[in-house]
Amino acid sequence: MPNNEMLDQEVDRRELRRKRRVKNQVIAYIVLMIFLAGLIVGGIFGVNKIMSILKDKKQAEELQKQLEELSDPEEEPPVVEAPEESAEPEGDKDYLGEIVESSIAEMPLADKVAGLFIITPESLTDMDVVTRAGDTTREKLDEYRVGGLIYFSQNILDADQLTEMLKNTRSWSRYSIFLGVDEEGGSVSRVAGNGLADGVGNMAEIGASGDTAAAREAGASIGSYLSGYGFNVDFAPVADVISEGNTTIGDRSFGSDPNVVAPMASAMVEGIQSTGVSACMKHFPGLGDTTADTHDGMASTEKTLEEFTATDFPVYQAGIAAGVDMIMVSHLSAPNVTGDNTPASVSEKMITEILRGQLGYQGVVITDSMSMTAITDYYTSDQAAVMALQAGADMILMPEDFESAYNGVMEAVNNGTLTEERINESLRRIFRVKKKNTLSE
């Protein structure tokens, strides 16, 4: 082939390559403009779409190369840091639980067991009548660090005496202590009955009025003057739905209709606890249809679980919904519920299965006075105390013989009949009530 022809062909090839290069560049720029527009309106989807329509692999490679050249090599892609693993949200953190656990952790077993009892100042000091908290009270509180004391009319003389007695008792207790009283209104009013406050009338009258605001106001009034003297527990309201012929409860109840008693009792709970005083509904599962008095021997009912559920439990459910701090379990025998004559206060069926399980109550369960003959005629003080704790109660109220009951529970823990964790379980409920105002102080 002549040299001139070869030269011309080489020129043509170069020109062809040049045109192809220009064509590729033009195509690349066009595609790039489309790509940039695609980024604005469609993001990365545009790139994939453009790349899919390029038939020539070299064109795609050229386009990719030019895109890389257009990007800023010094600009680093933004770094998105993973969020730090944070603790539990502040709103969900159980600060009260931490305070409670801290309080329990420092307690020796002897103090833990003593903390399950609420007794009279006479039982604590072994004196006939206590009207002041002096050296004997201080010494005994150091020996038996009880969970609480309950006061009656005999302990109350005047406003200054009552205030000083409770103040000293509280200051000499190593741990937070319950200072309680029966202040129901009406005939059962230890403080107002001694002339230290204006009475609020009986609950039957308030129930008959149909005015729940009056029940709430009565509770707030009682709670206010109790708090002023230094009490922090009121063993009220009465939650019993009475039947015709009931004389053991009488006008202490709001009435015979659970649809009336439930809102009345829960309103009174709200009123009492609005003042910082803990309310204690009583007498679970309900003493409304019995004519016997557990102070004087066994009291029983033929009610079935279904009947209790229809008439008595709605009142407790309303109180639980209102946040009642305590529920007192009576010594009522309900064989059609439990299967025998075991008093409710020492019945696992009644406390753990029904009150805790069926009704869902997680607050403090306290027995009625264990000095009543419904208990003392059948059990020793130590037997009754251990049985109540085994049944699910948290606190033992007024055992006939405190030292015997206390030693009985200690022995039960030491021999494995009760575990220390079981004691701790009750203390957690108790201290959640005792410490609940700590967070707002």
Is residue 37 within 8 A of residue 6, CB to CB? The reply is no
- Torsion, Cα 225 231 235 236, to 10 degrees, reads 20
Task: Give the CA radius of gyration of the chain.
Answer: 38
Is residue 312 within 8 A of residue 286, CB to CB? The reply is yes
Classify burial at 102, counting beta carbons within 10 Å of its beta carbon; exposed 0-12, middle 13-18, buried 19 or more. Answer: exposed
Residue 69: count other Cβ atoms within 10 Å of its Cβ. Answer: 8
Q: Which residue in the list 234, 240, 289, 368 is annotated as catalytic?
A: 368
Q: What are phi and psi of 179, to 5 degrees?
A: -120, 105
Amino acid at 355: L
Q: Which residues pair with 133 in a beta bridge?
A: none
Phi-psi region for residue 253, left (φ > 0), alpha (ψ -120 to 50) or beta?
beta
- Whole-angstrom Cα distance, residue 56 to residue 70? 21
Q: Which residue in the list 295, 331, 340, 401 is annotated as catalytic?
A: 295
Q: Which of 326, 318, 322, 350 is nearest to 336 (CA)?
A: 350
Q: Which two tokens stand for residue 120?
A: 């009279």
According to DSSP, the β-strands at 183-185 and 188-189 are antiparallel
Helix axes 381-391, 420-434, angle to 10 degrees: 80
Classify burial at 300, counting beta carbons within 10 Å of its beta carbon; exposed 0-12, middle 13-18, buried 19 or more. Answer: middle
Q: Kindly give, in sequence order, each residue whose CB lies less than 8 Å from that of residue 229, ignoring residues fewer than 6 positions away.
A: 159, 162, 163, 166, 191, 196
- Whole-angstrom Cα distance, residue 111 to residue 275? 29
368 is catalytic: yes
Is residue 271 within 8 A of residue 216, CB to CB? The reply is yes
- Whole-angstrom Cα distance, residue 220 to residue 238? 15
Active-site residue set: 295, 368
